[in-house]
Chains A and B, each alone.
Chain A
Amino acid sequence: MFWQQILNGLTLGSAYILIALGLTMVYGILNLLHFAHGTVYMVGAFSSMVAIIYLKLPFPLAFLLAMVLAGLVGILIERIAYRPLRNAHPINILISGIGITIILENLFRLFFGAQTRPFPNVNLSSKTYGLGNGLSITNFQIYILVTAVVLVGLLQILIKRTKVGTALVATSQDMKAAKLMGIDINRMVALTFFLGSALAAAAGTLVALYFNAIYPTMGSMPGLKAFSVVVLGGLGSIPGTIIGGLFLGVIESLGAGYVQTVIDANAIAFVILILVLLIKPTGLFGKKIEKV
């Protein structure tokens, strides 16, 4: 039972990581809390659904198309809601993001209705594999775990091994210096939003498949929880986010399995977050900042 909860937690944590990485990267480069990120996750799930039902694409292609589409939506959000406000007060940016969330959720509600839809039939049925000792894993869980590992790996390669990646890191470390070195800042920002949004779309599609549910507000809770992952990891640190995501997934899974709940599983993330910040106000991996 305990190990089963750990396994479930790691699956859940992998999904959190995929969502939270976008927030981390955006925060890393613009110091901005991207409140519309959760809706991108929803957009990803809906895009997959549309691609499967209307374009009759096989699941893997639909999945990739959804990532690209959501990536473009991410770029668009930055253009419309954040770029004009780059020097504005953080609260303005936050509310602009909330505005985008309201717009997107309601657009999708108008098009697809508010009800929860099942994920379209993609000839994938849930299978459960026994791992001995009463431990078992479903194929959907495997998809989530494998996808997370692959995508995080690809992201690391992109960041560490490519020229674009180096430019991206340079921009997030020192925007002014990067600009002086001839790096096109706006392209880097767009790239960040594209990558982060694509990862969120991947998570949205897989989670929708796993729970067999798609609805316009499906992104709001994962989006908010992803913030607690990001803050746990120390705001802006990719390794921190990965560990924060797994940590949270496992704790949440154990909490939901063991504790007679007085609060929803959703709120556990924030209880953990607040407890951690009480001990370390800059998150698990945050640096102590002292400046005058």
Chain B
Amino acid sequence: MDSILNPYYLGIVVIVGIYVILALGLNIVTGFAGQVSLGHAAFYAIGAYTSAILSLQGHLIFWLALPAAAIVTWCTGIVLGLPSLRVKEDFLAIVTLGLGLIFQSLANNLKITGGALGLGSIPQPELFGEPMSNFSFAVMTWLFVALAAFVAWRALNSRVGRAWLAIREDELVADALGVNTTRLKVLAFALGALYAGVAGSLFAHYTTFISADSFGFNESATILSMIVLGGLGSIPGAVTGAILLALAPEVLRPLADYRMLIYGLLLVILMRYRPQGLFGRSKAIRDRYAKKWLKKGGPKHEAAGNRKTH
């Protein structure tokens, strides 16, 4: 029993769970609502720092610091989403990339975040007056994962979720159907941020030490890779993608120095041979359908329709 539950493995279980929550959150923004974010790690950082600072300086217990971090990231998501989401597609990708770098840089320089030294001695959560064991922390993390997946699923299969998909597929049509696209995009952004806030809080109180290095562009890119690998917009996909990519560095550990090289190769190969991701609806199938009705005479018939005017 001890061997399976040793701190090393439990640590991996916790970290993987945290990544699953991050991926589920970004999947709402990018997968459901179609808004590419390259700065998701900013919200992860805000959650982690908020939770850490509230515990260290406000002496708040973990069980209050975590929801506080969630609320703060939700609000930050709205505040940052409102201006950012005015720009589209490639512009948005770069703006969110910028937001990520700005927040990392703030964390690196501000006094309250401990500057480049980061914040240490973040208290571990207590349960019934006892410090939580690694095992109970892992269980708690995965309970949050389950909750996160459930909430994402409920949100997706609702009026709001359908509006998100409409924005993703064709923003103009969504607009014409009465969807306030700005509002809905900000909503997705805020919910994704909230997920990252929860993940950040868990991370801070698990590792008990955070610094700006943990929240850079690489982190954002990794989370994005997870949901693309799983299949954009798919909840099981986000979970699977996050588990696979979070485990990859561990599994590839014996390859030592070649580990990251292979990771990069994997990304390139996957994008080439399975761009729709593991759980994604294959574009090839969609194209085949598209061809089928085109053959039935999309443009051809249109010309015929025009000629009827004579």
Indicate yes or no for A touching B, C-beta below 8 A.
yes
Tell me the A residues contacting B by CB distance below 8 Å: 27, 31, 33, 80-81, 84-85, 88-96, 98-103, 105-107, 109-110, 220, 224, 227-228, 230-231, 235, 261-264, 266-267, 269-271, 273-274, 277-278, 281-283, 292
Q: Which residues of A contact B98 (CB under 8 A)?
A: 228, 267, 269-271, 273-274
Q: How far is the CB of A181 from chain B (nearest CB, A)?
A: 23
B271 A277 Cβ-Cβ under 8 A: no
Which residue on B lies nearest to A264, using beta carbons?
B105
A281 B265 Cβ-Cβ under 8 A: no
Can you list 15 A-B pairs, Cβ within 8 angstroms, ordered by A? A33-B93, A90-B93, A98-B267, A99-B266, A102-B260, A109-B257, A231-B90, A235-B90, A262-B109, A263-B105, A271-B98, A274-B98, A277-B86, A277-B87, A292-B172
Q: Which residues of B contact A95 (CB under 8 A)?
A: 221, 224-225, 228, 267, 271
Q: Which residues of B contact A99 (CB under 8 A)?
A: 264-268, 271
Q: How far is the CB of B272 from chain A (nearest CB, A)?
A: 5
Q: How far is the CB of B133 from chain A (nearest CB, A)?
A: 36
- Known pairs A95-B267, A264-B108, A266-B105; A90 contacts B36 (CB<8 A): yes
Q: Which residues of B contact A94 (CB under 8 A)?
A: 36, 38, 93, 224
Partner of A228, one of B38, B94, B232, B263: B94
A16→B307 CA distance, assembly (Å): 55
Q: Does B165 contact A (CB under 8 A)?
A: no
Q: Does B101 contact A (CB under 8 A)?
A: yes
A264→B212 CA distance, assembly (Å): 12
Q: How far is the CB of B105 from chain A (nearest CB, A)?
A: 4
A231 B268 Cβ-Cβ under 8 A: no
A96→B275 CA distance, assembly (Å): 10
Which residue on B lies nearest to A277, using beta carbons?
B87
Q: Which residues of A contact B95 (CB under 8 A)?
A: 231, 273-274, 277
Partner of B267, one of A102, A228, A266, A277: A102
B101 A270 Cβ-Cβ under 8 A: yes
Q: Does B79 contact A (CB under 8 A)?
A: no
A235 B108 Cβ-Cβ under 8 A: no
A224 B268 Cβ-Cβ under 8 A: no
Which residue on B lies nearest to A236, using beta carbons?
B90
Task: Give the residue among A91, A109, A235, A266 with the most B Cβ atoms within 10 A.
Answer: A91
Q: Which residues of A contact B109 (CB under 8 A)?
A: 261-264
A278→B95 CA distance, assembly (Å): 10
Interface SS, B side: helix
Q: How many A-B residue pairs have CB under 8 A?
A: 144
Q: Which residues of B contact A98 (CB under 8 A)?
A: 221, 225, 267
Q: Does B196 contact A (CB under 8 A)?
A: no
A103 B90 Cβ-Cβ under 8 A: no
A91 B264 Cβ-Cβ under 8 A: no
A278 B264 Cβ-Cβ under 8 A: no
B94 A227 Cβ-Cβ under 8 A: yes
A92 B271 Cβ-Cβ under 8 A: yes
A262→B111 CA distance, assembly (Å): 9
Q: How far is the CB of A179 from chain B (nearest CB, A)?
A: 19
Q: How far is the CB of A91 from chain B (nearest CB, A)?
A: 6
Which residue on B lies nearest to A35, using beta carbons?
B221
Which residue on A lies nearest to B111, using beta carbons?
A262
- Known pairs A91-B232, A95-B271; A281 contacts B257 (CB<8 A): no
A85 B110 Cβ-Cβ under 8 A: no
Q: Which residues of A contact B89 (CB under 8 A)?
A: 90
A110→B267 CA distance, assembly (Å): 19
Instruction: Please give 18 more A-B residue pairs, beta carbons under 8 A apart, in addition to A95-B225, A99-B264.
Output: A92-B271, A92-B275, A94-B38, A96-B268, A99-B266, A102-B261, A102-B263, A103-B268, A107-B261, A231-B95, A261-B109, A264-B108, A266-B101, A267-B106, A270-B99, A274-B84, A274-B102, A282-B91
A41→B22 CA distance, assembly (Å): 32
A94→B98 CA distance, assembly (Å): 16
A107→B9 CA distance, assembly (Å): 30
Q: Which of B84-133 contact A (CB under 8 A)?
A: 84, 86-91, 93-95, 97-99, 101-102, 104-106, 108-110
